[in-house]
């Protein structure tokens, strides 16, 4: 059985694990080594069983903890070429670690098959479609302002989808953020709203996907209840009953979320 586990998820830091048996991959590391290390220890994950770290992009809430972690644990790092160039130029990845560029072709990373696909953000950014050793497939896509054709393709046919549900539109527009920041978040190179996420999840559940993780919720412009309610309202209008037809789970900001098996 494969598992998706969010170690922490939100605007203050993001990291998750895809595990199958003893082997696993880490996606991003946006908080300090103590936080990430404690989460891995709580899950009884040995560093020696990690096949590598996948990095989505260069923003600090995705790479803040990498440098210190990699000095102690020199795992291979994977990402888009532009992201790896940034990590190298800024000394985030120690010279003791291998860096590998990934693109649209599936790469073998340990026992996993990993395909990167571009997402629409204000720096070079990718999501990952991951095939596990037991034949399951999941995709993680956060930090995207619009669902482009490559994203639609990557989300299709999965057993589990972890998708950004960053903000509630009313909270964003009535909140404390200045206009320029609201405009950035709402733009096609910003983040995905609850409504946009819910609409896509409805398509996916109608295609047969049963497990969903709502990721990267904003602390200022969203709540877990709002994100879930938006999905439930969208599903309900189409006759989909979440508790019966699928599982939808918001990911916790500062702690490990419940394991999602797929």
Per-domain residue ranges of the chain = 2-252
How confident is residue 168, by pLDDT bands cut at 50, 70 and 90? very high
Q: Is the pLDDT of residue 53 over 90?
A: yes
Q: Which residues contact 217 (CB under 8 A, 6 or more apart)?
A: 9, 10, 11, 165, 166, 223, 224, 227, 250, 251, 253
Residue 90 contacts residue 59 (beta carbons within 8 Å): no
What pLDDT score does 40 carry?
Answer: 98
More confident residue, 61 or 244: 61
What pLDDT score does 243 carry?
Answer: 83
The enclosing H or E element of 156 equals: none
Greatest Cα-to-Cα distance within the chain, rounded to the nearest angstrom: 54
Question: Alpha carbon of 224 to those of 43, 71, 76, 165, 231: distances in Å?
Answer: 23, 35, 33, 9, 11
Mean pLDDT of 51-55: 98
Q: What is the pLDDT of residues 71-82, one digit of tens each?
A: 999 999 999 999
Q: What is the pLDDT of residues 1-47, one digit of tens each?
A: 999 999 999 999 999 999 999 999 999 999 999 999 999 999 999 99
How confident is residue 103, by pLDDT bands cut at 50, 70 and 90? confident
Query: Exposed (0-12), middle (13-18) or buried (19+): which is 208, by Cβ within 10 Å?
Result: exposed
What pLDDT score does 219 carry?
Answer: 96
- Asked if the 2-252 domain carries CATH number 3.60.15.10, the reply is yes
Q: What is the pLDDT of residues 178-233, one digit of tens each?
A: 999 999 999 999 999 999 999 999 999 999 999 999 999 999 999 999 999 999 99
Residue 56 contacts residue 29 (beta carbons within 8 Å): no
Q: Is the pLDDT of residue 66 over 90?
A: yes
């Amino acid at each position: 059985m494969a598992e998706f586990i969010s170690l922490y998820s939100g605007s203050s830091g993001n990291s998750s694990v895809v595990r199958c048996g003893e082997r696993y991959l880490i996606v991003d590391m946006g908080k300090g080594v103590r936080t990430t290390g404690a989460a891995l220890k709580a899950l009884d994950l040995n560093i020696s069983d990690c096949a590598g770290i996948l990095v989505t992009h260069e923003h600090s809430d995705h790479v803040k903890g990498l440098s210190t972690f990699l000095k102690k644990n020199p795992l291979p790092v994977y990402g888009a070429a532009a992201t790896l160039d940034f990590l190298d130029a800024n000394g985030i990845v120690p010279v003791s670690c291998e860096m590998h560029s990934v693109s649209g072709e599936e790469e073998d990373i340990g026992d996993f098959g990993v395909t990167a696909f571009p997402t629409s953000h204000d720096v070079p950014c990718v999501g990952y479609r991951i095939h596990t050793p037991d034949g399951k497939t999941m995709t993680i896509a956060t930090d995207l302002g619009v669902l482009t054709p490559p994203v639609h393709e990557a989300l299709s046919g999965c057993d589990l989808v972890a998708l950004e549900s960053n903000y509630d539109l009313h909270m964003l527009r009535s909140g404390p953020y200045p206009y320029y920041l609201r405009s950035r978040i709402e733009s096609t190179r910003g983040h995905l709203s609850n409504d946009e996420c819910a609409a896509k999840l409805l398509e996916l559940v109608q295609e047969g996907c049963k497990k969903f993780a709502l990721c990267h919720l904003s602390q200022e412009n969203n709540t877990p209840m709002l994100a879930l309610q938006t999905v439930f309202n969208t599903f309900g209008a189409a006759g989909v009953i979440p508790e019966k037809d699928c599982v939808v789970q918001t990911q916790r900001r500062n702690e490990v979320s419940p394991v999602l098996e797929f």
